[in-house]
Amino acid sequence: MFEARLIQGSILKKILDAIKDLVTDASWDCSPNGMSLQAMDTSHVSLVSVSLNSDGFDKYRCDRNLTLGMNLISLSKIIKCAANDDTIIIKAGDGGDKITLLFEAQNESEVAEYEIKLMNLDSEYLGIPDTTYNVTIKMPSNKFQRICRDLSQIGDAVTISCAKDGVRFGAAGDLGSGSIRLAQTATSDKPEDSVTISMQEALCQSFALKYLNHFAKATPLSAQVTLSMSPDVPLGEPLLFNVCVVEYNISDNDDENPSTIGFIRYYLAPKIDDTDES
Amino acid sequence: MFEARLIQGSILKKILDAIKDLVTDASWDCSPNGMSLQAMDTSHVSLVSVSLNSDGFDKYRCDRNLTLGMNLISLSKIIKCAANDDTIIIKAGDGGDKITLLFEAQNESEVAEYEIKLMNLDSEYLGIPDTTYNVTIKMPSNKFQRICRDLSQIGDAVTISCAKDGVRFGAAGDLGSGSIRLAQTATSDKPEDSVTISMQEALCQSFALKYLNHFAKATPLSAQVTLSMSPDVPLGEPLLFNVCVVEYNISDNDDENPSTIGFIRYYLAPKIDDTDES
DNA sequence: CGGTACGTAC
DNA sequence: GTACGTACCG
């Protein structure tokens, strides 16, 4: 028996918006600690990881571990049937082949019930690197989204150059080139708008904007985004251990005392400057 | 060395929106007096002229005359990367093959820098007629845009009939016909909404709505538009000397004391009632 | 200026 | 049907 209740159902809508264009099928792993999902994107280039703590739910019960494989496009369609202010309840029986979603309106006079068929998905093991990142950039998520969108006009890849006092996002293409420089903000600035850089050594890496634009769809989840990177490791090291992590906290925003109930992390390998690729 | 600084960068965004669908490539002529651009539209039917006075900029320096040929679609893409409240700085070196655009955010902690490659464009001489127009109609620009859009539903051409007390815009087509009559407003009305007619003799001419709809994209630049025309000259006279001019002033709107910093003018020959054309 | 909504293009 | 860009509204 599994049951999870989230008063602020709009959080689930935002999570689905943030991953459904990247991953079509995935399994939610449910344990007494919470629900989580890991999956490669369709082109097997990036990796998405969602984690929701059990104590972030308004009610959470998980008698034994479950793996709920499903089509995320279908889940997204169903979740869109909930109003933004609905309470969402996810239910699953042990060993069942479906989950039930309940959408309760605030006045409780209306309840919608949807069922989604589950799928048996090959549970590919996803080795998420347990790396310590030397460079961490925390910045307004809408600014990050805007920068990625703007630079997509210029080229396919963004080059991120980071120093202690600021970070530069650059791109180049047929029509010219562009770059945006952000200075680290004073600590007195309000937290939402702050740009915070934490680093041991300078860094310069390139990433495919196509994926970053997909990641940036998580912007409604959090006012700030955290980019974590490490300078290039020596050639020959496996690429998976040298990635960029784009992380958004999932918070209960409507509450008077907002609390983080989980996170969504995207992992992307840097684009190697290889003249072979067009 | 050329440098022009415009605090209200949104003006440049509006100018590009007003011309990019009509002209793909064009040269900006920069002189100590200001920047200007003249170009025929892609189908060589209409003519666009943009002029920005040097004293309309917040800083302007032009050591020697420059011709900056560029793709306006590319320029428009880059300009879209500026926020509406950014300050835009245009820089060009003498004889360089690129210009630099700087977008400064209001808080100055963010600076974007874009470079656009320049092109060598054939500088076709554009004989802009130095005509005195006998009929001038000044009216709200949004009303003109709406009339052109509405009449496009009816037919391909608008017939403008003007008398001292008012003007009529008419069109006819397969599904029927339509016409809008505007009376000259009392002088007491507020300037933005006023309709002002100045003329020596009555006039009736037709114009292709396709082009007028393109011209009307300059509507965000100015609350009023001026249509200038002359009655038909005798047959046999060259058509270029008998055109309609659609003019929008370019103003610094946000300022407490708004000032005109330039204009955008569109020239279009009347559509001759010729049964040969379909 | 940010968010939502609509319309268009893929 | 989905995703993007544009337009309007708050």
**In A, what residues contact B, Cβ < 8 A?**
143, 150-151, 153-154, 175-183, 185, 195
* Domains A2-31+55-117 and A135-268 fall in the same CATH topology: yes
* Nucleotide with C1' nearest the B83 CA: C1
> Distance from B192 to chain A by nearest Cα, in Å?
35
Question: Of A237-246, B30-39, B243-252, where does mean pLDDT reach its minimum?
Answer: A237-246
> Distance from B41 to chain A by nearest Cα, in Å?
21
For residue A176, give the nearest of B78, B80, B111 by CB distance.
Answer: B78
- The pLDDT value given to residue B38: 95
- Chain B residue with minimum CA distance to A180: B112
> Which fold would CATH assign to domain B135-268?
Proliferating Cell Nuclear Antigen (3.70.10)
State whether CATH 3.70.10.10 applies to domain A2-31+55-117: yes
Which helix (H) or strand (E) segment holds residue B99: the answer is strand B98-104
Average of pLDDT values for B189-214? 91
For residue A177, give the nearest of B71, B110, B115 by CB distance.
Answer: B115
> Distance from A172 to chain B by nearest Cα, in Å?
9
pTM beyond 0.85, yes or no: yes
Strand C nucleotides, any atom under 7 Å from protein beta carbons: they are: 1-4
Is the pLDDT at B54 greater than 60? The verdict is yes
B85 touches strand C (CB under 7 A): yes
Is the pLDDT at A266 greater than 80? The verdict is yes
Listed by start position, the domains of chain B span 2-31+55-117, 135-268
- The pLDDT value given to residue A277: 42
The three state secondary structure string of chain B is CEEEEECCCHHHHHHHHHHCCCCCEEEEEEECCEEEEEEECCCCCEEEEEEEEHHHCCEEEECCCEEEEEEHHHHHHHHHCCCCCCEEEEEECCCCCEEEEEEECCCCCEEEEEEEECCCCCCCCCCCCCCCCCEEEEEEHHHHHHHHHHHHCCCCEEEEEEECCEEEEEEEECCEEEEEEEECCCCCCCHHHCCEEEECCCEEEEEEHHHHHHHHHHHHHCCEEEEEECCCCCCCCCHHHCCEEEEEEEECCCCCCCCEEEEEEEEECCCCCCCCCC
Which residues of B fall within a CB distance of 8 Å from A181?
Answer: 110-113
| Best of B72, B85, B115 to mutate (most A CBs within 10 Å, chain A) | B115
Residue A239 (CA) to nucleotide D10 (C1'), in angstroms, measures 47
Is the pLDDT at B148 greater than 90? The verdict is yes
